[in-house]
Amino acid sequence: MKKFINAVEQVEDQMIQGMVKAYPQYLRKLDSGNIVVRSQKKEHKVALISGGGSGHEPAHGGYVGTGMLDAAVAGAVFTSPTPDQVYEGIKAVATDAGVLMIVKNYTGDVMNFEMAGEMAEIDGIAVKQVVVNDDVAVKDSLYTVGRRGVAGTVFVHKIAGALAETGADLDAVQAVAQKVINQVRTMGAAIRPCTVPAAGKPGFELSDTEMEVGIGIHGEPGTHREELKTADEITDMLLQHILDDFDYSGSEVAVMVNGAGATPLMELFIINNRIADVLAEKGIKVYKTFVGEYMTSIEMEGFSISLLKLDDQLKELLDAEADTPAFKA
Amino acid sequence: MKKFINAVEQVEDQMIQGMVKAYPQYLRKLDSGNIVVRSQKKEHKVALISGGGSGHEPAHGGYVGTGMLDAAVAGAVFTSPTPDQVYEGIKAVATDAGVLMIVKNYTGDVMNFEMAGEMAEIDGIAVKQVVVNDDVAVKDSLYTVGRRGVAGTVFVHKIAGALAETGADLDAVQAVAQKVINQVRTMGAAIRPCTVPAAGKPGFELSDTEMEVGIGIHGEPGTHREELKTADEITDMLLQHILDDFDYSGSEVAVMVNGAGATPLMELFIINNRIADVLAEKGIKVYKTFVGEYMTSIEMEGFSISLLKLDDQLKELLDAEADTPAFKA
C-alpha cells in the first residue's frame, strides 16, 4: 500500500487536524472527537450537520462555513460516526431554531444519526433530518436499503445551507433539502479502485481493460464490470441511466462532474464536454456546472455525473453566498 | 493506458472545450486555438497572460477571471504553446495599460513567450514578462536552464492579478509579480508517475516501496529515488530543502500543499498537519494555507509544498477578491 501517511491508525485524526490547521478561519475541532464546527457559531439560525465515514474529502468538513454546514462529523474511513459523536456535534451547533441532519443513505449512517437526533431531542433540541439517496445505479446495495447517497449530497448542503442562512425555519429548510433530494440523480464509474488504509488492499480488482460501472463512494464494487469504453460512450451510458430515472426534459439543471479522488481534471473536462453536448441536444438547459472533487473515495480513479433540476428558488439558493474551505460562491 | 479519454489526438481540444462549456460565465475560447480569455474583457487594466503545456489543470485556464489572469494559452500535454498561439492570446486581451506575461521557467515556454511578446510589441502593445522559478529541487533540469517554475506560479497569478485589478501600471504589476517570485520556494515528491496520453506509458517507473524526490510538473523523474518514508518524514525533508534555500525565519508565510493530480485530499491534509507543526516550532507564522490541486501533472500521485514570504502588501493582494473557476477569494 503506497500512501502518504504515517500510521494506519492515525489517518483520520491527522487528516482532521491538518484540515483544521489549514482553515482556522473557518473550522474548529471539538475536543471530543473528529467533529468540526464553524469557528464562529451563528445563533438563531437552523444549524446544519452532516458527516459520515472519512475518505470522502473535502466532504464533509470542507463544507463547513457560511452558507453551508455548521458541523461535520467524521467516522473512521468509510465507517459511520457513532451516535455519541453525532450527538456531540449537534449539541455544539444547536440553536433555538433547531438542527437539520443531512444524512447519506447508508444503514449505519441513518441508524446512528437517528439515535443521535433522539438523544438531542431529550435535551430539548428540535431535530429533523433528510436522507439523501441520489445514486440511480442500485436499488439496494451492500450497505443500504434503497439507493445510496452520493455526490448529490453537496447540492443539498449548498441549497439548504443557503436557505438556513436567510433565517428560514426548520420546516422550510428541511423542505428545500428534500426538494433537492427529490430532483437530483447521480451515477458513476471507475477504472481504478481505492485502498482503505486499514484494509491495506484495494476494494476490488480490475484488469487493464475493465471498468466498474455503478460505483458507490465506499470503495465497494459497482453494479457490474464492462470493457473500458471511450469517455463519450461512458458518459452517454451514465447520462442515459440518469435521464431514464427522472424526467429532466425542458428543465434547467445544475451539473456536477465529480472526481472520485485520482481522476485528473483533464478527463473530467473531457467528460463535461460530452455532457454539455448531450444535454444541449436534448433541450435540457445547463444553468451552472461544477467540475472537481466534491465527494471522493480516497484515491479511486473514477467519476460521477449528477443532474439537479432547478427552479427559481433553487437557482437563487445555489447562487447565494457560500464561504467554506472547499466551496465558495 | 487507462484513461477517460476518446482519442489521444483529441485530448487537449476536448479538455479545453469541456472547461469552457463548464464555465461560460468566466471563459471564452478563441477560434484560433486552445486559448481561453475572460468572457468579459476588462479595458484599461494591465492584462495578465500565462500558460504552458496542458496537463496541469486547473492551471492555467482555471485561473482566468476577475483578480487573476486575462488569458491562458494551452499547448499540447506538457508541450509549450507556439509563439503564434501566445501572440493571439496577447492580442485578444491587450489594453492600453499593457500586458504582463507570467512564464514558468522552461526553455520552450520562455522562448515562445518571448517571441510572442516581440511580435506584439511590433503591433505597439506594451509587453513585459516575469519568469517563475520556484522549484528548489534542481539547479538545472532536462527542460530548463536554472530552476523550474512549478506550483508557486499560482501565487504569482493571484497577487499580480489582484494588483492589476486595482488599475496599477505595468511596471508596478511586474514588480509585485517579481517580488512573489523572489519570495516563493517549492519542492515535491511522488509515489506514482503519470502517463502522457500521446506517450502511452508512464514517464518513469517506481517499485512498490520507492518514491521519487524533487519531481517537476512534466512527468519527468525527480532528482533521485528513495525508499518511501512516512508522510511526516517526507514533509520534513521537503520543508528542510525549502528552508535551507530561503530565510523564512520570523516571517509570515502563505503555504500551498499542492496535489499532483491523483493524491487524495486526505493525504494532503496529513501532510499539512506536519507542515503546520514544523513551521510553528520554527517560529514561522502561517497567514493562510491552500490545500488542493492547483498545478497538477495529469494523474501523478505526489505533492509539492510551497512557502511564500508575505508582507502587508502581499497579504492584502492575496486576500483581495478573486473570482475564477478554480480560485475564489
Mean pLDDT of the region B106-129? 97
Instruction: Tell me which DSSP letter residue A323 carries.
Output: B
Q: List the alpha helices (DSSP H) in chain A.
A: 11-22, 83-93, 107-122, 153-165, 170-183, 231-245, 265-281, 312-319
Q: Is A318 strand, coil or helix?
A: helix
Residue A44 buriedness (CB in 10 A; 0-12 / 13-18 / 19+): exposed
CB contact under 8 A, A18 and B265: no
Rounded Cα–Cα distance for residues A37 and A63 (Å) = 10
Chain B partners of A58 at a C-beta cutoff of 8 Å? Answer: 265
3-state secondary structure of A104: strand
Q: How confident is the model at residue B174 (pLDDT cuts 50, 70, 90)?
A: very high
- Most distant CA atoms of chain B, gap in Å: 56
Q: Cβ distance A67 to A22 under 8 Å?
A: no
Residue B314 contacts residue B178 (beta carbons within 8 Å): no
End-to-end Cα spacing for chain B: 37
Find the CB nearest B264 among A192, A257, A299: A299
Please give the full DSSP string across A171-204, using - where no structure is assigned.
HHHHHHHHHHHHHEEEEEEEEE--B-TTT-SBSS
pTM (global) more than 0.90: yes
Residues B2-27 have a mean pLDDT of 98
- Amino acid type, B89: G
Write out chain A residues lying below 8 Å of B303, CB-based. Answer: 4
Q: Are the Cβ atoms of A272 and B21 closer than 8 angstroms?
A: yes
Q: Which of B14, B268, B303 sits opposite A270 (nearest CB)?
A: B14
| Residue A139: per-residue pLDDT | 79
Q: What is the pLDDT of residues B30-60, one digit of tens each?
A: 998 899 999 999 999 999 999 999 999 999 9
**Is A224 a residue of the active site?**
no
Rounded to whole angstroms, how far apart are CA atoms A17 and A34?
9
Q: Mind telling me how many Å the CA of A110 is from chain B's nearest CA?
A: 24
B329: chain A residues, CB-CB within 8 Å: 328
Residue A220 pLDDT: 84
Q: Quote the CA–CA distance of A27 and A61 in Å, as a whole number.
A: 8
Residue B203 sits at φ, ψ, to 5 deg, of -70, -25
> How is residue A8 annotated by DSSP?
G
- Residue A227 touches chain B, beta carbons under 8 Å: no
Listed in sequence order, the residues at least 6 apart from A239 whose beta carbon sits closer than 8 Å to its beta carbon are: A275, A278, A279, A305
Residue B47, min C-alpha distance to chain A (Å)? 25
In A14-43, the residues whose Cβ lies within 8 Å of chain B are: 14-19, 21-23
Give the one of B22, B266, B267 whose C-beta lies nearest to A272's C-beta. B22
The H or E element containing residue A101 is strand A99-104
Q: What is the nearest CA distance from B224 to chain A, expressed in angstroms?
A: 18
Mutate to test the interface with A, among B63, B265, B299 (most CBs of A within 10 A): B265
**A303 at the B interface (CB within 8 A)?**
yes
In tens, the pLDDT along A69-128 reads 999 999 999 999 999 999 999 999 999 999 999 999 999 999 999 999 999 999 999 999
Q: What is the pLDDT of residue B99?
A: 98
> What is the pLDDT at residue A104?
97
Chain A residues with beta carbon closer than 8 angstroms to that of B62 = 265
Residue (of A142, A150, A200) closest to A5 by Cα position: A200
A118 φ, ψ (degrees, to nearest 5): -65, -40
Dump the DSSP string for B171-222.
Answer: HHHHHHHHHHHHHEEEEEEEEE--B-TTT-SBSS---TTEEEES--SSS---
The CA-atom distances, in angstroms, between B37 and each of A191, A305, B24 are: 33, 27, 11
Which chain B residues are within 8 Å of A293, Cβ to Cβ?
265, 293
Span A155-209, pLDDT tens digits: 999 999 999 999 999 999 999 999 999 999 999 999 999 999 999 999 899 999 9
Q: Quote the minimal CA–CA distance from A282 to chain B in Å.
A: 16
Residue A319 dihedral angles phi and psi, to the nearest 5°: -85, -15
Chain A CA closest to residue B254: A22
> Scanning every residue of chain A, which has its alpha carbon at the shortest distance from the alpha carbon of B14?
A270
Give the per-residue pLDDT at A140. 73
Q: Give dist(CA A299, CA B309) in Å, integer.
A: 32
Q: Which residue has the cell 464533509?
A: A60
- Residue A27: per-residue pLDDT: 98
What mean pLDDT comes out for the span B310-316?
Answer: 98
A271 contacts chain B (CB < 8 A)? yes
Tell me the ipTM for this assembly: 0.97
B191 backbone dihedrals φ, ψ, rounded to 5°: -115, -10
Angle subtended at Cα A16 by Cα A15 and Cα A21, rounded to the nearest 5 degrees: 100
Tell me what the pLDDT averaged over chain A comes to: 96
Mean pLDDT across B121-134: 98
DSSP line for A9-64: GGHHHHHHHHHHHH-TTTEEE-TTSSEEEESS--TTS-EEEEEEEESSTTTTGGGB
CB contact under 8 A, B14 and A301: no
A61's CB contacts (< 8 A; 6+ apart) are A16, A19, A20, A27, A36, A72, A74, A325
Chain A, 56 to 95: residues with Cβ < 8 Å from chain B are: 57-58, 62
End-to-end distance of chain A based on CA atoms, in angstroms? 37
Q: B74 - beta bridge partners?
A: B52
Q: Do A291 and B19 touch (CB under 8 A)?
A: yes
* Cell numbers at B20, concatenated: 469552457
Active site residue A218: yes
